[in-house]
Structure 1
Amino acid sequence: MNSPGLRGAGLVVLQALRVATVITLLTSGAACWILVINVEKNKPYFIFECFTLFFVSVLCSLLVVSELAFAQFIKIYLRRMWPVLSDHHGLSWLGLGMIIIGCNILGMLNHDLKMASALSSLVLAAGILALIFGFLNIVCSFIWCDRKEGITSRDIRANGSLARSQREFTDYEPPSRSSSARNEKTRSKFVSMFWKKDKEEDYLNGQPEIAAPPYINHHGRDLEAQSDSPIIPGLKRPDTALHPMNTRMNSRSSRSSRYSEANMSRF
């Protein structure tokens, strides 16, 4: 796979296979809805058969979106939610999904469905094409890949001989790290929910939380003892800020008493 010519040929082959894959998936989705319309309604469990075909058509739509993921937000969504269908992985899971779709569609032809020959031919062609191109996607995924460098078939399909591993980009996040962070957030929410519930139960049961006793400052108590009057024990001294010496330093409007000094001119 180190040959630029081989990688350039892989670009052409994989792009052609991409177009054929999208057409096959669209045809398979249409075939599923044709089978839903023509399913035998007189059977007791026909509803489950319709749901099966509906889920297969949803799978076809998902695979089409993964093949036509040109927008950046679609690529980021696939990397987070469907990593095996993103540009960080090869085409093997896509081929496996197409094989499952083809087997399901061809299996429905085993029933005695009353529909036109043209519709029956369309359903048959959709099933056969899904099997063929699903197998080709798996084969090409193993041919055009380089596991030593981490290059997949999607990388070669996008860049050809200039292909690089998509895991080198900064927006790639390993699944283990993202899952561990997600589990940690879920665990913290779970614990906080029960913690709040316990607090509410204690409040409703009449058992409020009692805070710890305040810190007693013995140094402050000693200072209060020193502020007692030396003449009459137990009598508190007035606050030092109210002493006439300190009141003179303030403005005249802030004096505690107007008779603290003689109200007369010094001259």
Structure 2
Amino acid sequence: MMASLKESLAGPGYVILNALRVINIIVFLDMVAAHIVMLIKIDLLTDFFFFQAVSHAVAIGICLFLLVSELPFFRNYFDRHWPSLGEDSGFLTLAFAMLILGIGALGDLNTPATSQEELGLTFWRIIISAGILALVVSVINAAANFAFADRDIGVSARHVRVYGAVAPQKIASRTGSQRSFQLSYKREETLPSYSTSSPIRRSSTTGSSRFPVKISPPQNPMRMASNAASSKYSRDSTGLTMPDIAHHPALQSGHI
């Protein structure tokens, strides 16, 4: 019953959540304006005013960062590096950050430098409106996160804001493709691997033996000819006799 109700809300949720996105952007712009006013009107009573100025500058940076996360740009960056602000995480982190910023803006009004008399009615209203809007819209974001999300099938409120009524089908197809990829990857890991350094010797079609063959280096032709000529007149130590010295040229010439 609950699943069918959430599926029926996916279509209107596309319009509602995109309207809420515009409201979020307005809240962050209002918050940036409020901290700029407090940064300009800061009271220089002591040397610690620097840290108060840094706190306002950090709040401005956080508001701009959250504002960019609500825009339909850099979605891959936020999904990869800031998953708590990505499509799979919904609006809870955004709502909590907006709540803290709203409480901080209203707390900054409790100083003499940010009183209505010092700031003027216009600037004072900017700050108090930013704080109240941040508190109210943070609660709306948290409620929308639970109203339009369906955790049973992995659909978040941000998925509904992007895909609308077809968000369940989109997530189901993406989940199926991821599972098939993981199964194929695991199947590849279980296949046996062969290494070139394996001790298994493959037999060759030329009838080569599996025992290592020692191949001698090529011989010098001149040395081979010299060895062949000398072997005609000499023998090694296997018992063969040397040639007869009576055939030596010196004996034939009559010098002896």
The normalised TM-score by structure 1 is 0.62
Partner of 1:148: 152
CA distance in 1, matches of 2:24, 2:76: 22
Within the alignment, does 1:48 sit opposite 2:51 as a pair?
yes
Q: Is 1:240 matched with 2:221?
A: no
**Residue aligning to 1:215:** none
RCO higher in structure (CA 8 A, sep ≥6)? 2
- Matched with 1:19 is 22
Contact 1:31/1:123 (CA < 8 Å) preserved in 2? Answer: yes
Tell me, yes or no, if the aligned pair for 2:153 and 2:172 is still in contact at 8 Å. Answer: no
Question: What is residue 29 of structure 1 aligned with on the other side?
Answer: 32
TM-score (ref. length: structure 2): 0.64
C-alpha RMSD of matched pairs (Å): 3.1
Task: Provide the C-alpha distance between the structure 1 equivalents of 2:67 and 2:223, rounded to a whole number of angstroms.
Answer: 86
Residue equivalent to 2:240 = none
1:86 aligns with 2:90: no
Deviation at 1:120, TM superposition (A): 0.5
Aligned mates of 1:105, 1:241 — CA distance in 2: 104
Deviation for aligned residue 1:96: 0.6
Structure 2 residue aligned with 1:127? 131
Rg: which structure is higher?
A: 2
Per the TM alignment, residue 166 of structure 1 is displaced from its structure 2 partner at its CA by 5.2
CA offset at residue 68 of structure 1? 0.4
Which ranges of structure 1 fall in alignment gaps of 5 or more residues?
174-218, 228-236, 246-267
Amino acid at match of 1:239: R
Name the aligned partner's letter for residue 98 of structure 2. Answer: M
| Identity within the alignment, % | 30
Post-superposition offset of 1:169:
4.4
- In the superposition, relative to structure 1, how do residues 240 and 43 fare at CA in structure 2: closer, same or farther (>3 Å)? same
| Corresponding residue number in structure 1 for 2:197 | none
Following the alignment from structure 2 to structure 1, what is the Cα–Cα distance between the partners of residues 172 and 51? 41
CA shift digits 1:14-72 (9 cap, x unpaired):
111111111011110111111111111122311111111111111111111111033xx
- Segments ≥4 residues shifted beyond 2 Å: 1-5, 164-170, 237-245
Q: Residues of 2 paired with 1:25 and 1:243: CA distance?
A: 99
Q: Distance in 1 between matches of 2:225 and 2:37?
A: 97
Distance in structure 1 (CA, Å) of the matches to 2:45 and 2:123: 21
Note if contact 1:88-1:167 (Cα within 8 Å) is conserved in structure 2. no
1:167 to 1:44, Cα distance in 2 relative to 1, 3 A: farther
What one-letter code is carried by the residue in structure 2 that aligns with 1:144?
F
Equivalent residue number for residue 112 of structure 2: 112
